[in-house]
């Protein structure tokens, strides 16, 4: 099964991708993870990515595509994969289609997770994390029993800079500009299913499994 999960930051598609990956024994490929891994391992693409990230710029398509291409060539992905956070633009989607054709593969389904803007802002702006042990919390949905301190290690929790209100608005704007055309792109290929991501995690997952089992109708 080869899937693409689309959705703005904060829709919960990463969580759903983890669950689907475990159940169907396929790999989750997240561009965020790929970038962090490449930067950590100081690969040529990682070093290039780091230069852009350090200056607060978006990592160019060529780098992201290179990382995804490397990953999909890995035999552990033969069983299938879920792309989470990629493609982000129509040019990326076109390259992805080419990479898959080269390998004699095609996408089975693209899932678009929909959550209202207000709900996304609430989800993201409430996130807190521990700079020491990396534990994550949410002021409303999963608060620390220690208040503003980490439950596990007692360190003061922080709000990541990209989870601050202004940064969230900016991330959503960028997403909407880049991704609206992508939805049309996959709709035309009859690959797209829409899913309400605003419900409880288990409900979303239930609907997702149903959507994956259903024949493509869109």
Contacts to Zn ion by CB under 5 A: 130, 132-133, 135, 150, 152-153, 155
Q: Which sequence positions are flagged as catalytic?
A: 13, 88, 127, 160, 171
Distance in Å, CB of 132 to Zn ion, minimum: 5
In sequence order, the β-bridge partners of residue 109 are: 3
- Whether residue 87 contacts residue 182, with contact meaning beta carbons closer than 8 Å, is answered with yes
Compute the least distance from the CB of residue 163 to Zn ion, in Å.
Answer: 17
> Which is nearer to Zn ion, 75 or 147 (by Cβ)?
147
Minimum distance, C-beta of residue 128 to Zn ion, in the bound complex (Å): 11
Q: Please give the C-alpha separations between residue 28 and each of 19, 86, 146, in angstroms, as whole numbers.
A: 10, 11, 33
Strands of 14-122, DSSP E = 27-30, 81-84, 109-114
Comparison of 103 and 160: residue with beta carbon closer to Zn ion? 160
Q: How many CA atoms lie within 13 A of 202 on its CB side?
A: 0
Q: Which is nearer to Zn ion, 159 or 207 (CB)?
A: 159
Phi-psi region of 12 (alpha: psi -120 to 50; beta: other; left: phi over 0): left
The beta strand positions in the chain, using DSSP E, are: 2-6, 27-30, 81-84, 109-114, 127-129, 136-138, 192-196
Nearest CB to Zn ion, comparing residues 40 and 132: 132
The minimum distance between CB 174 and Zn ion, in angstroms, equals 30
For the chain, the first-to-last Cα distance in angstroms comes to: 18
């Amino acid at each position: 099964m080869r899937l693409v999960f689309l959705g703005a930051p904060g829709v919960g598609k990463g969580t759903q991708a983890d669950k689907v990956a475990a159940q169907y024994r396929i790999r989750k490929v997240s561009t965020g993870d790929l970038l962090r891994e490449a930067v950590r391992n100081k690969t040529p693409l990682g070093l290039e990515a780091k230069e852009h990230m350090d200056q607060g710029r978006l990592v160019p398509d060529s780098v992201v595509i290179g990382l995804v291409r490397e990953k999909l060539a890995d035999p552990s992905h033969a069983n299938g994969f879920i792309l989470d956070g990629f493609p982000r633009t129509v040019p990326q989607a076109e390259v992805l289609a080419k990479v898959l054709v080269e390998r004699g593969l095609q996408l089975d389904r693209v899932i678009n997770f929909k959550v209202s803007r207000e709900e996304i802002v609430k989800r993201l702006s409430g996130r807190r994390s521990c700079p020491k042990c990396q534990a994550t919390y949410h002021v409303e949905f999963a608060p620390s029993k220690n208040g503003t301190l980490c439950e596990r290690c007692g360190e003061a929790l922080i709000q990541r800079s990209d989870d601050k209100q202004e940064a969230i608005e900016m991330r959503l704007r960028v997403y909407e500009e880049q991704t609206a055309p992508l939805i049309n792109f996959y709709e035309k290929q009859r690959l797209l299913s829409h899913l309400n991501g605003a419900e409880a995690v288990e409900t979303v997952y239930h609907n997702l499994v149903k959507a994956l089992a259903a024949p493509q109708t869109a």
